[in-house]
Amino acid sequence: MTDYKKTLNLPSTKFPMRGNLAQKEPEMLKAWEQADLYGLLREHCAGRPKFILHDGPPYANGNIHIGHAVNKILKDIILKGKTLSGFDTPYIPGWDCHGLPIELKVEAKVGKVGTKVDAVKFREICRKYAKSQVELQKKDFKRLGVLGDWDKPYLTMDFQTEGDTVRSLGKIVENGYLRKGEKPVHWCVDCGSALAEAEVEYEDKTSSSIDVRFSVVDEDDLAKRMGADLTGEGAVSVVIWTTTPWTLPANQAIAVHAELDYVLVQVEGERLVLAEALYESVLERAELTGKVLQRCKGADLEHLQCQHPFYDRQVPVILGEHVTTDAGTGCVHTAPGHGQEDFVVGKQYGLEVDNPVGGDGYFLERAEIFAGESVDEANPHVIEVLKEQGKLLCYQPLEHSYPHCWRHNRPLIFRATPQWFISMDETGLRQQLLDSLDGVKWLPDWGQSRIQSMIENSPDWCVSRQRTWGVPITLFVHKETGELHPQTNALFEKAALLIDKKGVEAWFSLDKADLLGDEADSYDKVMDTLDVWFDSGVTHASVVDRREALNLPADLYLEGSDQHRGWFQSSLKTAVAMRGKAPYKTVLTHGFTVDAKGEKMSKSKGNTILPQSINKKFGTDILRLWATSCDYSREMTISDEIIKRIADGYRRIRNTSRFLLSNLNDFDPAKDCVPMSNLLPLDRWAVAQAAKTQDIILKSHDNYQFHLVYQELLRFCSIDLGSLFLDITKDRQYTCKGDSLARRSAQTATYHILSAMIRWLAPITSFTAEELWKHLPGDDKADYVLLTAWYDQLQPLDSEAEITESDWQQIFHTRELVSKQLEVLRIAEEIGSSLDAELTLYCDGDLFTSLIKLGNELRFILMTSSAKVVALTDVPDNAITIEGENLSIVAQSSEHEKCVRCWHHSETIGNNADHPELCDRCIENVEGDGEVRQYA
RNA sequence: UGCUCUGUAACUCAAUGGUAGAGUCCGCUCUUGAUAAGGGCGUGGUUGUGGGGUCAGUACCCACCAGAGCAACCA
């Protein structure tokens, strides 16, 4: 037997079947970095319209997790897509560098400020620590294949950025939005500082719960409110319940609910006012019996005066919505200096915000009997005093959930302190914010109603923190009047200039006389720092507006949906307060990653999957492909199984591309490309399918719906290519003369398809795409796919095509029906390969017209050795009629010899004495001018 | 506790007010000229549960369940 194999054009490529990504990606990264791919892109894109995605800065602490990876990968996909769409897409990654978590890390290493280190040294170490974390995360981000200006990222602790943060505050002050106020905050006496909400943990604690009598001053007044003279006998008291006896010195009122019923109850020798719903439980725990004498609504009790249990003052009864009958007495002890709700309701009634407790947790002089005592010491003392005064009705220990400092694990106190606020209503900021929402596109659209309701309900933003590592609030406040310095605006700029040069330290170590001269003695220099949300919130000014590469407003902000509360809001508030306009045109959000059961990932559950481990085991392109495959508007599920499936999908894409490449091994697009109009109809169809696919892909990019890109890409590889085009054209690719139109046509289509496909992949599996690009034939290629644009040589099928789209649909539908029929023969062991079969198809109408168009080349589409089309009227008895279809089939195994070269069965085998094993077609291809193909 | 979002085949995603559709997985099978690949056929879903309006719903409304996010409460 002659070996005809070498006369075939078998596929061949150096592009490896297996990606070996884990090893190859880092090498490619290195090469990109050396070539400065990001810089090349900027040069290449110079002058194009810009698309600005402003990076939300991750907090510079700890290793990156899967959520970070998702966020950065999505950003990268978007920007690479926009690059291919013809935009200039600078990307400046950023980090949030100030704030408590870093302070805590540093504290753990060097101790608290004022113990072993001073504040100056402490900030130095914080800065250093933050820098180290930035480098750590940067390494991992780069490993994800994310392109950006990694050499010049923005850090909120860059001196200039710190300076601009101060300038931003200055602008907000200038526009009149900053006000000084007081606010009860979670306060840790060990920290000596207020804590942010995130720094608070709830744990069980045993407290002293007490019921306390507040004597009613004027019984006649109460009688009026009850609507009748008081009956019964003994002193009359309103009873409150509290679990924090130490807050009683600050008591300013008793709150009741307007709608609730209150009763006057007669017990042994005295009368008590209690909520009707609770009086029985109160009597029970006080081991008393009693009966109701009279009743009224809470509203009737408003302004009733009661005697403070141990100070010489009277406190009013007030109304509050927060009063419930869940526990207590229905009469709520109100100390505006020690409770959030007390503070709010106290404000309505103009109550004094008294806070007799110092920052160290010890009572101040004015607390009189308790002066100098710690909060913990005061608790039993207060109870003792109440007992002495006969005001203690009941005492019980109570275990309940109570806020603790996450660091010191110590119960917190609520403590009113002077703070700086960005006011929501005084100058109409809230309304301006609401007005600004419509000018922004929110994706998904419910993002708008979410942020709207948050803004509607948002209290004034407390921007001050009593912290060490942060941007200072560079204000001078008059010692006597509490007023800001009249030159505040100019002073802001002076402070900012100093900070530009030396960082925040310039303010903290500033001698105020340097700025204020002789006035220095009259002013206090504020030493508070800004809430870190402010730092990141104003990056629209300190980064977007500052960097030459970027433009304001940004086209896009993209973060997790939790940032409606966070960065989206802090950015909006500061931008509107500074400029009256939103800093972004579009806000896109993604969901969180969850495990196979749909549950949140957490270290304690042990269900986390680290990006680093996926990179190591599978490669970043797999992680990127996973991020692509998810509908990120909801939760994104990740599990070992899912990653494995994604890896399967990757292999499909990789092998399909590889096969395309391998069929182009002798193809030079400059010389061998067949003009679109000369392509064989099947090849033309394949190009048209690619055009359709590209439409879907581009539209999905426009809508940021990458999971549809993924689905379409896989569908295209599996069906259009794997099942149809590639399977069918193998015969032509392999057996026709290498240089024939028949083969060059197929190769041209292959080349167009691959050229387009590499670009589809470029934003997603960036490493694989560049690897493919290197193997793509052609001499005048750009150095990187990303330096090109979406492939523009694909064309849809026009309606005048010889074989139209609907013809193809009928043809391929018939192919499916035939396949089913061949499967019957296969099971009967009459055939193995479909080429062992011969077919006669009986049909009429449109189907007949479509099939007949292919002449005797239909067999190539159906991949049988013969396929005849005959009018349905001639259908013989032995034909199988396909139910529900206009088709009858006679399928049988061929009686002819099988050509050893093309594997088709043919009666012509043996006709040529030189090549007794070949069919006439192969002889023509081996020795002659090459066969001519018209359609397929 | 409240608000918002999500819930379609084993997995990832589609679709439509009118008998649910892909790819992957899985089973069987062909192929040794994509071979640590490729093709064919097939199994598989009362579209979270329960109600409601509709000639008709997975798609609209209500309740519930589960998960997620945000918020509140904790005197």
Rounded to the nearest 10 degrees, how much is the dihedral formed by the CA atoms of A918, A920, A922, A925?
140
Pairing between strand A413-422 and A178-188? antiparallel
Question: Closest residue by Cα to the C1' atom of nucleotide B75?
Answer: A242
State mean pLDDT over A703-712.
Answer: 95
Å from the A534 CA to the B2 C1': 28
Q: Measured between alpha carbons, how far is A754 from A463 in angstroms, rounded to an integer?
A: 55
Nucleotide closest to residue A255 (CA–C1'):
B75
Closest nucleotide to the alpha carbon of A202, via C1': B74
Q: How far is the CA of A919 from the C1' of B67 (A)?
A: 64
Q: Is the CB of A644 under 7 A from strand B?
A: no
* A258 CB below 7 A from strand B atoms: no
Positive or negative, the CA dihedral A822, A828, A834, A839 is negative
* Most confident residue range from A173-187, A258-272, A667-681: A667-681
Closest-lying nucleotide for A717 based on CA to C1': B23
Express as a percent the part of chain A with pLDDT over 90: 62
Q: CA-to-C1' distance for A832 and B32, Å?
A: 14
Residue A557 pLDDT exceeds 70? yes
Lowest-confidence pick of A73-77, A366-370, A705-709: A366-370
- Give residue A168's pLDDT band: very low, low, confident or very high (50, 70, 90): very high
SS3 A157: coil
Does residue A600 approach strand B to less than 7 Å at its CB?
Answer: yes
The answer on pLDDT for A402 being more than 80 is no
With CA of A333 and C1' of each nucleotide, the nearest comes out as B75
**Greater model confidence, A261 or A918:** A918
Between residues A224 and A506, which one has the greater pLDDT? A506
Strand partners, A214: A238
Q: Rounded to whole angstroms, how far apart are CA atoms A935 and A855?
A: 9
Cα distances from A647 to residues A19, A296, A330, in angstroms, run 10, 72, 62
> Does any strand B atom come closer than 7 Å to the Cβ of A630?
yes
Tell me, in Å, how far CA of A202 is from C1' of B2? 20
Tell me what pLDDT residue A31 has.
Answer: 96
Task: Tell me if A289 sits within 8 A of A283, measured CB to CB.
Answer: yes
A703 band by pLDDT with thresholds 50, 70 and 90: very high
Burial of A423 (0-12, 13-18, 19+ CB in 10 A): middle
Strand B closer than 7 Å to the CB of A242? yes
Residues A628-656: tens digit of each pLDDT? 999 999 889 999 999 999 999 999 999 99
Question: Distance in angstroms, CA of A634 to C1' of B74?
Answer: 32
pLDDT tens-digit profile of A296-355? 777 777 787 777 877 778 888 887 766 666 677 777 888 877 777 777 777 777 777 777
CA A446 / C1′ B62 distance in Å: 21
Q: Is the pLDDT of residue A67 over 80?
A: yes
Could you tell me which residues come within 8 angstroms of residue A3 by beta carbon, excluding any fewer than 6 positions away?
none
Beta-strand pair A584-590/A554-560: parallel
Query: For strand B, which residues in window 499-528 of chain A come within 7 Å by CB?
Result: none
pLDDT at A137 over 60: yes
pLDDT of residue A321: 66
What's chain A's average pLDDT? 88
pLDDT of A71 higher than 90: yes
Distance in angstroms: CA A82, C1' B36: 37
pLDDT in tens, A200-218: 666 667 777 788 888 777 7
Identify residue A742 by its one-letter amino acid code: A
pLDDT at residue A400, rounded to an integer: 65
Lowest mean pLDDT among A392-401, A735-744, A759-768: A392-401
CB of A823 nearer than 7 A to strand B = yes
A359 has a pLDDT exceeding 70: no
In whole angstroms, B54 C1' to A444 CA is 30
A592 in contact with nucleic chain B (CB within 7 A): yes
* Residue A697, phi then psi, degrees to nearest 5: -65, -45
Which nucleotides of strand B come closer than 7 angstroms to any CB of the protein? 3-7, 11-14, 22-25, 29-42, 66-75
Positions 330-349 of A with beta carbon below 7 A from strand B are: 332-333, 339-341
The Cα angle at residue A841 between residues A838 and A847, in degrees rounded to 5: 140
What's the CA–C1' distance between A804 and B71, in Å? 59
Longest dimension (CA), chain A: 133
Q: How far is the CA of A747 from the C1' of B31 (A)?
A: 23
Scan residues 151-210 of chain A and list those with Cβ within 7 Å of strand B.
197, 200, 202, 207
Query: Nearest-CA residue to the C1' of B4?
Result: A450
On the 0-12 / 13-18 / 19+ scale of CB atoms within 10 A, A874 is exposed
| CB A774 within 7 Å, strand B | no
Q: Is A105 (CB) below 7 Å from strand B?
A: no
| pLDDT given at position A596 | 79
Task: Identify the pLDDT of residue A20.
Answer: 93
User: Which residue blocks in A144-176 are alpha helix, DSSP H?
Assistant: 159-174
Q: What is the CA radius of gyration of chain A?
A: 39
> From the CA of A765, how many Å to the C1' of B21?
27
Name the protein residue, with chain letter, whose CA is nearest the C1' of B34.
Answer: A659
Nearest nucleotide (CA of A705 to C1'): B13
A645 touches strand B (CB under 7 A): yes
Type of residue found at A409: N
pLDDT level of residue A196 (50, 70, 90 thresholds): low
For the CA of A508 and the C1' of B69, the distance in angstroms is: 39
For A28-32, A132-136, A178-182, A927-931, which range has the lowest pLDDT when averaged over its residues? A178-182
CA at A791, C1' at B7: how many angstroms apart? 39
What Cα–Cα distance (Å) separates residue A62 from each residue in A75, A130, A133, A136? 21, 10, 7, 8
Q: Which of residues 435-474 of A touch strand B (CB under 7 A)?
A: 444, 446, 449-450, 453-454
What's the CA gap between A317 and A789, in Å, rounded? 73
Tens digit of each residue's pLDDT (9 = 90 or more) over A527-536: 889 999 999 9
| Residue A789 or A216, more confident | A789
- Residue A260's pLDDT is 73
A562 touches strand B (CB under 7 A): yes
Whether CB of A8 is under 7 Å from strand B: the answer is yes
Distance A449 CA to B61 C1' (A): 21
Q: Is the pLDDT of residue A1 over 70?
A: no
Amino acid (one-letter) located at A377: E
From the CA of A448 to the C1' of B61: give the distance in Å. 24
State pLDDT tens for residues A445-499.
888 888 988 888 888 888 988 888 999 999 999 887 878 999 999 999 999 999 9
CA of A873 to C1' of B23 (A): 40
pLDDT at residue A697, rounded to an integer: 96
Distance in Å from B10's C1' to A732's CA comes to 39
Residues A854-896 have pLDDT tens digits of: 999 999 999 999 999 999 999 999 999 998 889 999 999 999 9
pLDDT band per the 50, 70, 90 thresholds, residue A401: low
A903 CA to B33 C1' in angstroms comes to 10
The least confident of A140-144, A210-214, A254-258, A468-472 is A254-258
Residues 279-338 of chain A: which lie with beta carbon within 7 Å of strand B? 322-324, 326-328, 332-333
Measure Cα distances from A33 to A611, A733, A758 in Å: 21, 39, 21
Q: What is the pLDDT of residue A310?
A: 78
Asked whether residue A722's C-beta has any atom of DNA/RNA strand B within 7 A, the reply is yes
pLDDT for res A203: 67
| Three-point CA angle A177, A183, A186, nearest 5° | 130
- Please name the nucleotide lying closest to A341, CA to C1': B75
The structure tokens 């081996």 sit at A926
| Strand B proximal residues, A:888-907, Cβ < 7 Å | 900-903
Q: Is the CB of A411 under 7 A from strand B?
A: no
Residue whose structure tokens are 């600004």:
A436
Task: Note the ipTM here.
Answer: 0.94
